[in-house]
Amino acid sequence: MARAGRQRAAPSLADAGAVRVASLPGVGPRMAEKLAARGLLELQDLWLLLPRQYEDRTRLTPIRALQPGVSAQVEGTVAAVERGFRYRPSLRVAIVDDSRATLVLRFFHFRGAQAAQFVPGTRIRCYGSARPGQHGLEMVHPSYRLFAQEGEGDAGADALDEQLSPVYPAIEGIGPATVRRLVGLALDRLPAEGELELLPPDALDGLGMPSLRAALLAVHRPARDADVAALLEGRSPAQRRLAMEEMLAHHLSLRRQRIALQQHAAPALDGPAPLAERLRGALPFALTGAQARVFEQVRADLAQPRPMLRLVQGDVGSGKTVVAALAALVAIGRGRQAALMAPTELLAEQHLANLRAWLEPLGVRVAWLAGKVTGKARAAALAHIASGEAQLVVGTHALMQEGVVFRDLALAIVDEQHRFGVHQRLALRDKGASGSGVPHQLVMTATPIPRTLAMAAYADLDVSAIDELPPGRTPVQTVALAADRRPELVERIRAACAEGRQAYWVCTLIEESDELEAQAAQSTHEALSKALPGLRVGLVHGRMAAREKQATMRAFKDGQLQLLVATTVIEVGVDVPNASLMIIENAERLGLAQLHQLRGRVGRGSAASSCVLLYRAPLSALARQRLETMRSTSDGFEIAEKDLALRGPGELLGTRQTGLAAFRLADLARDADLLPQVHALGERLLAAAPAVADRIVARWVGGAARYAAA
Ligand code: ADP
Ligand code: MG
């Protein structure tokens, strides 16, 4: 079948990257569809499909020199073959080489014809990672090639590779060899350096970085003498170059989004704010310096005739809610509406209770809207929101649904924004009343991220930090205990509950399996209920219906339950000041950010609180450092910096958390030192060459950016 793409006139070189993948030889509609499912639409998508790994098939390793766990290529002669059927079919092929050592190849999935090929005396070359087996080292399912017997074969068949072989990410329905071939074909169509390059030459020279063309070739087709270790770690100059351009693309995409949103008008809420001042005067405490500073930043933003886009980072317990309430009062005092949205019903209810207590005495009318508000109550809430009778609306994402029409929304506050994400941020834009512009946006998060990363992740937001806790908090005592001391904890729980306190027991597993984690929590719940017969013990895990989960959380909050066994689903936000003991199982497996969030569930009341980190020995060096960090500090910002240094931002800054698109290659921790240059270059391009900026975004961010620009 003739493919339309091949009939067309060749596009100009500058557009070579935008040529459809379907125009490559051998790519029919079915394969094009599979590629499209992975976002591989154009040649440039294949250029940027970067290898995950490299296999070194340029040399042979003597079997005697194989190291367990290290991939290598060996060549030998089949010495013995054994087929077994005892538990499941298995095939074991022993090979020997000139080093007079034996290696066993093991196969569990194979066809009869395949097994029959392994005739003793046949020469075989295989590539894989060896591991210790019953009789010395073995390789499970290595990739291999058999050579024809003497005299039959073609002479060139056993030449070694000239270059490292890239290993590409798996693509469903397309074999690795085909993926490699397609990338090769796409690379053959790489335009000349000058046509491909989008970055200003002086910028590259300044950074001492290779051209894009040179970088792509170095990554896809590394020379035989390339520094493999640097490549595998992503630290080669070519990879740094690509990472820089990718971070630049993301930065530009977020900046453009911000610039586009700030083209809209927003109500300028300037002048005095008597309601906010009254609340400040009525509070039983003075604002901390950090709260006062951040509120001033917010006020200055609100006074502008363009929408505020501000993120407030503040550790758990730093007092973000008061700042949000003050901001809401600035809008309400000017006769406008404000809304506060939280990611779960329970959190939203918590805010509702606090805000009612603070605002209603000032005569402010607060409305409530969540998924469970239905029927007449919902109709009434909607009517109040539409008429302006409701001055502050508190709720869940139900606030963003279509039927919800505000009379005059001037400020939207979003708590724990990582649970929402960019989509919702855009949806909010449309909630403003026509004529009065788009609402100001205030986003609050309790997951502090290091300053360098905040710049990258939130280039569309201004960032403030409440980096000070209210006075008088007793820090949570943190200890790390080996798991065999688990029995002592039963006594600790009993003692805490005897004093009228409450406790959490958090079960964690490394596997990303809700089901296994739920099982672990269930059996812990049973065991603890048995060991503590006098106590009321509750259970929450991710496998429970949302309603059931919330009912249990509420019972714990109300003090009806004394001990709560939970999985990490309790991580975010719930405030039970009476809880003073937190036990975290398998703490060595959690990242610092998560441990910090979990620990933040206690120490919220007046009682001295403690956190026990149970670990399973032996600890890795990394785990030891994490637990030590937890013991030595409770400052979320310090912990975030440490986390970044220890582990990298992958989990810290997971895409689900930030709404930030995943990077193909850049690693914000590894490449953080490039961020200042990225920003400088980004601002320069936005000012001097916005069309180039657009092309950089399209090249790297593609679909996601098209969405954001919509
Ligand atoms: P978070 O930042 O975790 O959302 P909250 O806003 O829930 O923290 O505040 C935690 C607790 O601290 C609340 O009980 C709140 O009333 C109290 N609080 C807030 N600011 C201050 C302050 N400046 N002094 C004393 N207590 C405060
Ligand atoms: Mg909060």
pLDDT at res. 710: 33
Contacts 24+ apart (CB under 8 A), 83-92: 83/115, 91/115, 91/118, 92/138
Q: Return the closest-CA partner of residue 692 out of 199, 256, 194, 203.
A: 199
How far is Cα 177 from Cα 398, in angstroms, rounded to an integer? Answer: 48
H or E element that contains 295: helix 289-302
Task: Look at the alpha carbons of 651, 652, 657, 663 in this order and tell me if their dihedral is positive or negative.
Answer: negative
**How many angstroms separate the alpha carbon of residue 18 from the centre of ligand 2?**
46
Atom of ligand 1 nearest to the CA of 322: 6
Q: Return the closest-CA partner of residue 246 out of 706, 653, 698.
A: 698
pLDDT at res. 433: 59
pTM for this entry = 0.73
How far is Cα 57 from Cα 60, in angstroms, rounded to an integer? Answer: 7
Closest residue to atom 17 of ligand 1, CA basis: 319
**How many angstroms separate the alpha carbon of residue 559 from the centre of ligand 2?**
20
446 lines ligand 1 (CB under 6 A): yes
Q: Return the closest-CA partner of residue 610 out of 486, 492, 524.
A: 492
238 lines ligand 1 (CB under 6 A): no
Q: Return the closest-CA partner of residue 50 out of 190, 224, 183.
A: 183
SS3 658: helix
pLDDT at res. 684: 94
Reading the block at residue 710, the tokens are 């919509």
**How many angstroms separate the alpha carbon of residue 577 from the centre of ligand 2?**
13
**How many angstroms separate the alpha carbon of residue 316 from the centre of ligand 1?**
9
Pocket test for ligand 1, best of 322, 347, 599 (most atoms within 8 A of CB): 322
Reading the block at residue 254, the tokens are 């977020």
Closest residue to atom 15 of ligand 1, CA basis: 319
Contacts 24+ apart (CB under 8 A), 170-177: 171/34, 171/35, 171/38, 171/40, 172/34, 172/37, 172/38, 173/34, 174/31, 174/34, 174/35
User: Which residues are 444's β-sheet partners?
Assistant: 312, 415
SS3 270: coil
Task: Look at the alpha carbons of 427, 428, 433, 435 in this order and tell me if their dihedral is positive or negative.
Answer: negative
**How many angstroms separate the alpha carbon of residue 426 from the centre of ligand 2?**
23
Structure letter (DSSP) for residue 174 = B
573 lines ligand 1 (CB under 6 A): no
pLDDT at res. 571: 56
445 lines ligand 1 (CB under 6 A): no
Q: Looking at 532-620, list the stretches that DSSP marks H as alpha helix, in order from N- to C-terminal side.
A: 546-557, 592-599
355 lines ligand 1 (CB under 6 A): no
198 touches 692 (CB < 8 A): yes
SS3 512: coil
Largest CA distance in the chain: 98
Radius of gyration over alpha carbons of the chain, in Å?
Answer: 30
H or E element that contains 444: strand 440-445
Ligand number with the minimum distance to the CA of 340 = 2
**How many angstroms separate the alpha carbon of residue 587 from the centre of ligand 1?**
27
How far is Cα 217 from Cα 238, in angstroms, rounded to an integer? Answer: 9
The CA–CA distances, whole Å, from 409 to 296, 323, 700 equal 21, 18, 36
Reading the block at residue 698, the tokens are 């399209």
How far is Cα 324 from Cα 355, in angstroms, rounded to an integer? Answer: 9
How far is Cα 42 from Cα 21, in angstroms, rounded to an integer? Answer: 5
Q: Return the closest-CA partner of residue 145 out of 163, 129, 123.
A: 123
Q: Return the closest-CA partner of residue 528 out of 491, 496, 579.
A: 491
318 lines ligand 1 (CB under 6 A): yes
Structure letter (DSSP) for residue 376 = H
Closest residue to atom 10 of ligand 1, CA basis: 317
pLDDT at res. 513: 66
357 lines ligand 1 (CB under 6 A): no
Closest residue to atom 13 of ligand 1, CA basis: 319
319 lines ligand 1 (CB under 6 A): yes
Closest residue to atom 18 of ligand 1, CA basis: 319
**How many angstroms separate the alpha carbon of residue 321 from the centre of ligand 1?**
7
Reading the block at residue 283, the tokens are 């509070």
> Average pLDDT by consecutive 10-residue portion of the chain (710 residues)?
38 64 91 90 90 87 91 93 81 92 91 88 93 87 82 59 87 90 94 90 88 95 85 87 92 87 91 95 96 98 94 88 97 96 86 94 96 91 95 91 90 76 62 75 83 73 89 88 91 94 87 70 92 94 83 91 88 78 91 86 86 91 91 88 68 40 74 88 94 90 46
Closest residue to atom 9 of ligand 1, CA basis: 319
**How many angstroms separate the alpha carbon of residue 452 from the centre of ligand 2?**
24
The CA–CA distances, whole Å, from 140 to 59, 106, 108, 274, 375 equal 20, 5, 8, 73, 61
**How many angstroms separate the alpha carbon of residue 601 from the centre of ligand 1?**
13
447 lines ligand 1 (CB under 6 A): no
How far is Cα 90 from Cα 587, in angstroms, rounded to an integer? Answer: 39
285 lines ligand 1 (CB under 6 A): yes
320 lines ligand 1 (CB under 6 A): yes
SS3 230: helix
**How many angstroms separate the alpha carbon of residue 407 from the centre of ligand 1?**
31
Residue showing tokens 């279509």: 402
600 lines ligand 1 (CB under 6 A): no
How far is Cα 694 from Cα 682, in angstroms, rounded to an integer? Answer: 11
User: Phi, psi at residue 82, to the nearest 5°?
Assistant: -140, 125
Closest residue to atom 16 of ligand 1, CA basis: 319
Closest residue to atom 23 of ligand 1, CA basis: 287
Q: Return the closest-CA partner of residue 165 out of 68, 95, 73.
A: 73
Helix axes 289-302, 320-333, angle to 10 degrees: 30
Residue type present at position 548:
E
Residue showing tokens 């990242």: 591
Q: Looking at 83-209, list the stretches that DSSP marks H as alpha helix, in order from N- to C-terminal side.
A: 112-116, 176-188, 193-196, 201-207
Q: What angle do CA 328, 322, 279 make, to 5 degrees?
A: 70
Closest residue to atom 4 of ligand 1, CA basis: 320
Q: Identify the structural domains of the chain with CATH numbers, from first to last.
A: 2-53+168-246 (no CATH), 59-158 (2.40.50.140), 274-466 (3.40.50.300), 476-633 (3.40.50.300)
568 touches 281 (CB < 8 A): no
Reading the block at residue 515, the tokens are 């089901």
